[in-house]
């Protein structure tokens, strides 16, 4: 027999939390129209039908920090598409999931609570998130992320010589690099500071960092990119290049005063995890500077620039940073060609983290 989730037990409590929905507030003369949910809000029967199935709760739990397509969800849950699509449809109808079509592929993400039922939906999701992902789902998610990472690495391996030209079609390197340096120069005692650049690519920014900071580390998972970066930094004795991932540095107990990631997160299978690692690599009060694309719908960026994510909403980056113990300190938004927009963000590690 399937064990019911604790969330289902508290449905009656949650119903009473919905403003205006308490049966005790009804009068004999109340009409159906007067107690109908606000426009745009899901009716309570639809909402609680969606929450009345353990598999659907697991989908919501999984998509807390992820955006996955149907094939990826089937891989994680080890289910056929026909078995999963019905549940996704119900969650979309209840406004618990949103979907976005990218070419022929539809991606699902968890909706942000808003509107007349914001407090109710927020409490529902908070209760769902109190339970950790099962080991089965964790392993499935790792498989999906590994496939995404393989695609990203293959792209950089095959396009290292012309990547800069392709990326310039989207965002001007000069624009976001100058903004990065502007925010970097706010760092106290910069001449003695240690700086880590994650994903330096061909190393274009490394010389400018080396001229300003005490020590600079360039970390990349592409040997081809590190070879290009090495050629640009041969004359600098304070630059070290490392092959690997940000999480790999945690075992070395390395810490840095500043971590920089320019146009990296949208190539990363798990951006939230990278931000968490960046926060853990910081000294107390250290800073993270992120340059990223704002959310967009230019599908060609996947093929021509190896993008795994079509940018990010500013609020999404803020939420991930906050969860990583980072506070927002400054932000710049730069308009680009073809309707693209860049966000350059400065976060600081909370002193109690």
Q: What is the pLDDT of residue 29?
A: 44
Full strand arrangement of the beta sheet holding 341-349: 239-243, 215-220, 194-198, 256-262, 282-293, 341-349, 326-335
Question: 20 and 81, same structural domain?
Answer: yes
CA distances for 318 relative to 40, 258, 313, 346, angstroms: 26, 18, 9, 10
Residue 327 lies in a domain: yes
Question: 313 and 182, same structural domain?
Answer: yes
The last residue of one of the domains, among 113, 133, 153, is 133
What is the domain count for the chain?
2
Does 12 have pLDDT greater than 50? no
Question: 182 and 50, same structural domain?
Answer: no
Residue 28 lies in a domain: yes
Residue 147 lies in a domain: no
Percent of the chain at pLDDT > 70 equals: 76
Question: 123 and 188, same structural domain?
Answer: no
Query: Which CATH number covers residue 20?
Result: 1.10.10.10
Q: Which residue has the tokens 């592409």?
A: 222
Residue 211 lies in a domain: yes
Residue 56 lies in a domain: yes
Percent of the chain at pLDDT > 90 equals: 45
Question: 46 and 181, same structural domain?
Answer: no
Question: 90 and 203, same structural domain?
Answer: no
Question: 307 and 202, same structural domain?
Answer: yes
**Residues 152-188, buried b or exposed e (16+ Cβ, 10 A)?**
bbebbeebbeebeeebeebbebebbbebbbebbeebe
Residue 35's domain comprises 6-133
Range name among 50-59, 114-123, 147-156 with the lowest pLDDT average: 147-156
Q: What is the pLDDT of residue 308?
A: 80
Q: What is the pLDDT of residue 106?
A: 84
Residue 153 lies in a domain: no
Distance CA 173, CA 179 (A): 10
Under 8 Å between Cβ of 128 and 61: yes
- pLDDT confidence of 154, banded at 50, 70, 90? low
pLDDT tens for each residue of 58-114: 999 998 877 788 998 999 999 999 999 999 999 999 989 988 776 677 888 888 787
Question: 119 and 258, same structural domain?
Answer: no
Question: 325 and 235, same structural domain?
Answer: yes
pLDDT tens for each residue of 210-269: 999 999 999 998 888 899 999 999 999 999 999 988 888 887 788 999 999 999 998 888
Q: What is the pLDDT of residue 230?
A: 95
Does 17 have pLDDT greater than 80? no
Question: 257 and 118, same structural domain?
Answer: no
Question: 216 and 111, same structural domain?
Answer: no
Question: 89 and 22, same structural domain?
Answer: yes
- E strands, the chain, are 68-69, 97-102, 105-110, 194-198, 215-220, 239-243, 256-262, 282-293, 326-335, 341-349
Distance CA 222, CA 99 (A): 32
pLDDT tens for each residue of 300-329: 666 666 678 888 888 889 999 999 999 999
Query: Which CATH number covers residue 196?
Result: 3.40.50.150
Residue 151 lies in a domain: no
Three-state secondary structure of 173-239: HHHHHHHHHHHHCCCCCHHHCEEEEECCCCCCCHHHHHHHCCEEEEEECCHHHHHHHHHHCCCCCCE
Residue 19 lies in a domain: yes
């Amino acid at each position: 027999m399937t064990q019911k989730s604790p969330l289902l037990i508290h449905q009656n409590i949650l119903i009473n939390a919905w403003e205006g929905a308490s049966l005790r507030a009804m009068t004999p003369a109340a009409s159906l129209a007067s107690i109908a949910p606000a426009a745009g809000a899901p009716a309570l029967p639809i909402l609680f039908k969606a929450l009345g199935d353990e598999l659907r709760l697991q989908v919501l739990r999984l998509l807390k920090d992820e955006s996955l397509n149907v094939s990826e969800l089937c891989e994680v849950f080890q289910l056929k598409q026909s078995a999963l699509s019905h549940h996704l449809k119900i969650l979309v109808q209840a406004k618990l999931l949103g979907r976005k079509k990218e070419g022929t592929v539809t991606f699902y993400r968890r909706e942000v609570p808003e509107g007349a039922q914001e407090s109710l939906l927020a409490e529902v999701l908070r209760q769902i998130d109190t339970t950790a992902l099962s080991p089965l789902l964790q392993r499935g998610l790792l498989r999906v992320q590994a496939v995404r990472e393989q695609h990203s690495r293959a792209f950089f391996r095959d396009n290292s010589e012309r990547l800069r030209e392709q990326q310039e079609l989207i965002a001007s390197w000069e624009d976001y690099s100058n903004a990065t340096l502007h925010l970097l120069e706010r760092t106290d005692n910069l001449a003695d500071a240690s700086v880590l650049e994650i994903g330096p690519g061909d190393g274009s920014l490394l010389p400018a960092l080396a001229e300003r900071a005490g020590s600079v580390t360039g970390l990349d998972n592409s040997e081809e990119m590190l070879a290009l970066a090495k050629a640009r930094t041969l004359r600098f004795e304070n630059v070290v290049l490392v092959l690997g991932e940000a999480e790999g540095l945690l075992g070395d107990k390395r810490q840095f005063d500043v971590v920089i990631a320019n146009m990296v997160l949208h190539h990363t299978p798990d951006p939230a995890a990278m931000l968490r690692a960046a926060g853990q690599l910081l000294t107390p009060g250290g800073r993270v500077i992120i340059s990223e694309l704002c959310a967009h719908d230019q599908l060609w960026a996947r093929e021509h620039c190896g993008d795994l994510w079509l940018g990010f909403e500013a609020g999404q980056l803020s939420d991930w940073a906050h969860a990583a113990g980072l506070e927002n300190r400054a932000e710049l938004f730069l308009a680009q060609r073809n309707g693209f927009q860049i966000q350059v963000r400065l976060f600081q590690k909370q002193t109690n983290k």
